[in-house]
Structure 1
Amino acid sequence: MIYTVTLNPSIDYVISLDEMKVGLVNRLKTSSKFPGGKGINVSRILNELNVSNTALGFLGGFTGKFVNDALTRLNVQTDFVEIKEDTRINVKIHAQQETELNALGPNIDDAELASFIDKFNQIGNGDVVVFSGSIPANLPQNLYDQIIKKIKANGAQLAVDTTGQGLLDTLENNPIVIKPNNHELGELFHTEVTTDADIEKYAKKLIEMGAQNVMISMAGEGGMLVSKDRVLRSFAPKGKVLNSVGAGDSMLAGFVGEFNQSHDLEKAFKKGLACGSATAFSLDIATNKKIDEIFNEIDVFEK
């Protein structure tokens, strides 16, 4: 089983208008509400790929009920801890530019946190836990480390999509894959990454530090996958970008879902690219049909 972790889920309220005029009344062209959160996005893509998974995290109040009900309608299996405070609402504005207004999120009390950590006692051999996003300021900053030690002791594996020191701290646990984008990769080493050679150089440093695979998303330039023995590259398929939210999460989901089933590195990388691009070309998380269409357009080559 694959488990996804979303520590700070949300309702994503996505609105569109031709022009955003600050200080004036604006009339929307469209508005939609989606269950949001990086781990939730991973679960939704895994579901589209018919890969069994369970979404974990915290949900509370009427907003949390909306998120859980929406995921239930999408047939996503969930096991969230119910909390006292309301799940946050994030606003995504599509106008002249893409703008996001992200709320801080609820406070988690000690009993709620203990209940969440206890869930990982049942995760072990054959399972993979996907850690997505940073740890909110109101939670212990070593929370991932606590959970990772627990699941590793039970024989489970992990995949990680976070940034900065939080990402570096997970490497000693040999994650199956980590997924920085090219800018985040540079920030890890306090430098600017501008070329394929730069990306390969610094990705190999992360391999030396413990990651099994490093998958780098490069927006319109495609992506690269670096492992101990291989470097794979692909350019982005053609398409109109409608929504960048969730594209990186989708890429991670595609890789983890395929690799956990086939252990085929090249196919997993290609599936990740297809999922990421399909979501970027969609208003919401991509459908399996869209993923399949784009999968056939992607060319992966060895460097």
Structure 2
Amino acid sequence: MATAVVFTPSPLLTVTIEAQPDGTAELHVHGGGQGVWIARMMSSLGCETRLAGPFGGESGEVLQPLIEREGIVPLAVPVPYPNGAYVHDRREGERSVVATHNPPTLERHDHDQLYDLALIEGLAADVVVLGGPDGEHVVEPDTYRRLAADLSAQNVPVVVDLSGDYLEAAVSGGVHLVKVSHEELLNDGRARSDDPDHLIEAAAKLREAGAANVVVSRAGEPALALLGDRAVSVQTPTFQRADHRGAGDSMTAGLAVGTASGLDLDQALILGAAAGTLNTTRHGLATGERELIERLRERVTLQDL
């Protein structure tokens, strides 16, 4: 079985209020945050997934068993402060924020312990995924540069799904694969427009900066990728969307599992695209059944640009 470590400096406790068919409210309590969502899909795809993150306070006590319930092994760094959390109301169809507790800045000792834990556990894994912080000032961007550099130097494939200064830092350390959305490229000023040529141009610059391969997701449009020097477009079926959130994290998870399993780049990209596409039909973030994702892979194709 393929093995993976997901680095997440800010796992969240999430509560979502849904409407049942009779109009009454239904509460869903889960682990959340980008790293947790990626790990959830990786576990669903049959990868033995460990999650390195800080856990503390009442929210942390609740969060750990929720993560374990999804087949993820928490690599917990105990901290003296609570994890971040949020409550969302989706009874009207769209998400409405009811309450948010932002994750805290990691104190120096806790940061160093988390870094060392992710590094040592990552050295024994088939892939390491660096998930972004869910909040400002949780960790410094340089943490990502150092971790990417240390793992890559030991020939551990590093997959990242980041933006802004965190993306720049991780890429400068050297990574196997970057997954980034076209909105993030535009917001960061890396792409001149959403024209495919400009997005490929931005991906090429990320390669020059230290990313061996780059995948650019484009919401409802075909994803683009630079697999080495080869540019491709990803053709997937189009489905009616239940919730777009989590599709990008599902794609990252599929790319990481494909990498850990030894698939070639084409097949890893196809797996990632299938996982992301199927997730759009569901209300759960980064959820999906492995068998159905595997069947959907047969309808995903790559087109050389």
What range is the shorter-chain TM-score in?
A: 0.7 to 0.9
1:60 maps to what in 2? 56
Deviations 1:3-48 (A, max 9, x none): 1011111112122359xxxxxxxx8643311110111112111111
Alpha-carbon shift at residue 179 of structure 1 (Å): 1.1
Q: Is the 8 Å Cα contact of residues 6 and 132 (structure 1) preserved in structure 2?
A: yes
Change (3 A) 1:148 1:266: closer
CA distance in 2, matches of 1:192, 1:229: 21
2:218 maps to what in 1? 218
Alpha-carbon shift at residue 126 of structure 1 (Å): 5.9
Q: Does 1:74 align with 2:73?
A: no
1:132 maps to what in 2? 131
Deviations 1:134-187 (A, max 9, x none): 474143342222323433344423111111122122223331111111111223
CA distance in 2, matches of 1:259, 1:203: 19
Task: Tell me how large the CA RMSD over aligned residues is.
Answer: 2.4
1:97 maps to what in 2? 94
SS in 1 for 2:220: helix
Deviations 1:54-75 (A, max 9, x none): 1111111222122210122222
Change (3 A) 1:63 1:301: same
Show structure 1 runs of 5+ residues with no match: 19-26
2:10 maps to what in 1? 8
More strand by share: 2
Alpha-carbon shift at residue 236 of structure 1 (Å): 4.1
CA distance in 2, matches of 1:172, 1:63: 34
SS in 1 for 2:198: helix
SS in 2 for 1:89: strand
Task: Give, as a single letter, the amino acid of the residue that structure 2 aligns with 1:124.
Answer: L
Change (3 A) 1:280 1:103: farther
Deviates more, 1:63-72 or 1:293-302: 293-302
1:123 maps to what in 2? 122
Change (3 A) 1:28 1:177: farther
CA distance in 2, matches of 1:194, 1:225: 14
The count of corresponding residues between Structure 1 and Structure 2 is 295
Task: Give, as a single letter, the amino acid of the residue that structure 1 aligns with 2:301.
Answer: D
Q: Does 1:109 align with 2:111?
A: no
Task: Give, as a single letter, the amino acid of the residue that structure 2 aligns with 1:184.
Answer: E
1:257 maps to what in 2? 257
Q: Is the 8 Å Cα contact of residues 235 and 303 (structure 2) preserved in structure 1?
A: no
SS in 2 for 1:170: helix
Task: Give, as a single letter, the amino acid of the residue that structure 2 aligns with 1:82.
Answer: P
CA distance in 1, matches of 2:107, 2:302: 47
Change (3 A) 1:126 1:108: closer
Change (3 A) 1:289 1:102: farther
CA distance in 1, matches of 2:145, 2:88: 31
Change (3 A) 1:290 1:5: same
Show structure 2 runs of 5+ residues with no match: none
Q: Is the 8 Å Cα contact of residues 254 and 273 (structure 2) preserved in structure 1?
A: yes
SS in 1 for 2:88: strand
Q: Is the 8 Å Cα contact of residues 10 and 90 (structure 1) preserved in structure 2?
A: yes
Q: Does 1:289 align with 2:291?
A: yes
CA distance in 2, matches of 1:138, 1:233: 35
Q: 1:1-303, aligned counterparts within 5 Å?
A: 1-16=3-18, 29-94=25-90, 95=92, 97-100=94-97, 102-119=100-117, 120-124=119-123, 127-134=126-133, 136-189=136-189, 191-284=191-284, 285-303=287-305
CA distance in 2, matches of 1:76, 1:162: 21
Deviates more, 1:91-100 or 1:253-262: 91-100
Deviates more, 1:87-96 or 1:199-208: 87-96
CA distance in 1, matches of 2:236, 2:17: 27
Change (3 A) 1:172 1:162: same
Q: Between the two proteins, what is the percent identity of the paired residues?
A: 21
- TM-score, L = length of structure 2: 0.87
Q: Is the 8 Å Cα contact of residues 121 and 151 (structure 1) preserved in structure 2?
A: no
